Amino acid sequence: MASAAEQLASNLNFSAFSKADDLKKRIWFTLGALLVYRLGTYIPIPGINPEAFAQAFERQSQGVLGLFNMFVGGAAERMALFALGIMPYISASIIMQLMTSVVPSLEQLKKDGEQGRKVINQYTRYGTVLLATLQAYGIAVGLEAGAGVVTDPGTFFKLSTVITLVGGTMFLMWLGEQVTARGIGNGISLIIFAGIVAALPSAIAGTLELGRTGSLSTFLIIGVIVLAIALIALIVFVERAQRKLLIQYPKRQVGTKMFQGDSSHLPLKLNTAGVIPAIFGSSLLLLPATLAGFSDTSNLPDWATAILASLGHGQPAYMIFYAVLIAFFAFFYTAIVFNPKDTADNLKRHGGYIPGIRPGERTAEYIDHVLTRITVVGAIYLVFVCLLPEFLIARTGVPFYLGGTSLLIVVSVTLDTVAQVQGHLFAQQYEGLIKKSKLRGGKKRR
């Protein structure tokens, strides 16, 4: 078995890709699903005057609405079938994960294994429908409030808009699940990734055009490019960084044979939560601002108008709330995906221990202590990467697409996707080597 693993590690290269038929099918399926998603961002909902809506959107595009448009791949500026994007599903997931921590019945479902997860996923879908319906109705009302945006306002327009937008969101949710199951994984993240990447060429061209016309200085554009490269390098470094805890296994006797004690490592990622805190934080900030961006705010009370203005992109309140949400979700999501007590129990069950730490509760406390400390560093890193470009964007007017959140999502999803592809190649080659070793063993016995 060891020799097979060594041979696999040496042979894992690009030539193995040509023999990985299952992986190629998964990649083609993923690309086809993303193509369907991109087509849906260009199909407009019925009853909209494109010219009037384009003018109305242009007035709001420099605010939070512009950031929302980035996450939905430009579908909002075209009021397309996927104008709501996958954000209602993400918001529903946030709510369900919060509720599983405070509602005992939901917490028990989470512990029930696969069946419990199916029930929680079903509740998440119901929540997605509810949130998408509320957002779609708010958008329909806001569109009717715009002068000349809707060709035939009324109940039928509201109903058709709600059905179309909710249907688009539910289709995207299903599409993301299919990519996760039948593609190369990370379906929801890949949909957001595709929307951001699709808009990058036009954003870069727009930035260069601003430099050509003199609106942005050449040195500023060069500085932004250097900053983006430095942030990408930082993201790659931190996303791959791990804190390894030494795990020792004692000597054991099997029959009349004595096996020597072995050692391994428990890897703890510096940023266990990944890109989730940035997506969750953005989605919560966008939830109220999206509806306000499409609606007529002239009739709102002064205090409501002041709150919406303070939550505008680049405003101090927006930065503070964004930083707090990122830090909160960094700890919250880490606590969800990694349970120190379960890890300590598994180590104890298999005879493993951390040198100098008593197995069981003491080990769980130690792992939790280490995880908390590295999560502090991970949260600071996420806040820094997401907010530093936002400060520059607010001062210089560089497009949203070059922000820290978009860079974090693009780089992190790319790293995860490459890891998924390597995992499929590894599994396929490993199975092939095992089959070969069995055939050789059968020939020797003959």
Instruction: List the one residue out of 142, 424, 118, 391 whose CA is nearest residue 291.
Output: 142
First to last CA, the chain: 21
Residues 6+ apart with CB under 8 A from 204: 401, 402
Instruction: List the one residue out of 70, 84, 75 whose CA is nearest residue 53.
Output: 75
pLDDT at 64: 54
**Rg, C-alpha atoms of the chain:** 25
- Provide the residue ranges of all domains of the chain, joining segments of one domain with +: 2-445
Is the pLDDT confidence value at 1 over 50? no
Is the pLDDT confidence value at 301 over 60? yes
Q: Can you tell me the distance from the alpha carbon of 43 to that of 78, in angstroms, rounded to the nearest whole number? A: 8
CA dihedral of 106, 333, 331, 112, whole degrees rounded to 10: 40
pLDDT tens by residue, 314-344: 678 888 888 999 999 899 888 888 888 888 8
Question: How far from the centroid of its chain's Cα atoms is residue 181's Cα?
Answer: 16
pLDDT tens by residue, 341-370: 888 888 888 778 888 888 888 888 999 999
Residues 6+ apart with CB under 8 A from 317: 310, 311
Both structure tokens of 350: 């298999």
Is the pLDDT confidence value at 5 over 50? no
Dihedral angle sign, alpha carbons of residues 24, 27, 29, 35 = negative
Average pLDDT, the chain: 79
pLDDT at 256: 62
Domain 2-445, CATH number (from 3.50.50.60, 3.30.930.10, 1.10.3370.10, 2.60.40.1930): 1.10.3370.10
pTM: 0.76
Which of 37-41, 94-98, 298-302 shows the lowest mean pLDDT across its residues? 298-302
* Cβ contact 402:228 at 8 Å: yes
More confident position, 95 or 67: 95
Give how far Cα 165 sits from Cα of 12, 27, 127, 217, Å: 44, 28, 15, 41
pLDDT at 66: 64
pLDDT tens by residue, 176-199: 989 988 888 788 888 888 888 887
Can you tell me the mean pLDDT for 36-60?
83
More confident position, 120 or 61: 120
Residues 6+ apart with CB under 8 A from 334: 272, 273, 371, 375, 378
Is the pLDDT confidence value at 306 over 80? no
More confident position, 211 or 168: 168
Element counts in the chain: helices (H) and strands (E)? 16, 4
Instruction: List the one residue out of 216, 49, 14 whose CA is nearest residue 148.
Output: 49
Q: What percentage of residues in the chain have a pLDDT greater than 90?
A: 13
Quickly tell me which residue has 């104008």 as its tokens. Answer: 83
pLDDT at 108: 80
Give how far Cα 425 sits from Cα of 164, 185, 197, 420, Å: 40, 14, 26, 9
pLDDT tens by residue, 404-443: 777 888 888 888 888 888 877 777 766 655 655 655 655 5
pLDDT at 10: 43
Quickly tell me which residue has 């409501």 as its tokens. Answer: 304
Q: Could you please report the per-residue DSSP string of 252-299? A: EEETTEEEPP-EEEEEEETTTTTTHHHHHHHHHHHHHHHHHHHS-GGG
Q: Can you tell me the distance from the alpha carbon of 205 to that of 272, in angstroms, rounded to the nearest whole number? A: 35
pLDDT tens by residue, 385-405: 888 877 777 776 665 555 677
pLDDT at 3: 42
Angle, alpha carbons 379-380-381 (nearest 5°): 90
Q: How confident is the model at residue 33 (pLDDT cuts 50, 70, 90)?
A: very high
Contacts within 8 Å (CB) and 24+ apart, 390-396: 390/313, 390/314, 390/319, 390/322, 391/319, 392/224, 392/227, 393/313, 393/314, 394/313, 394/314, 394/315, 396/216, 396/220, 396/224
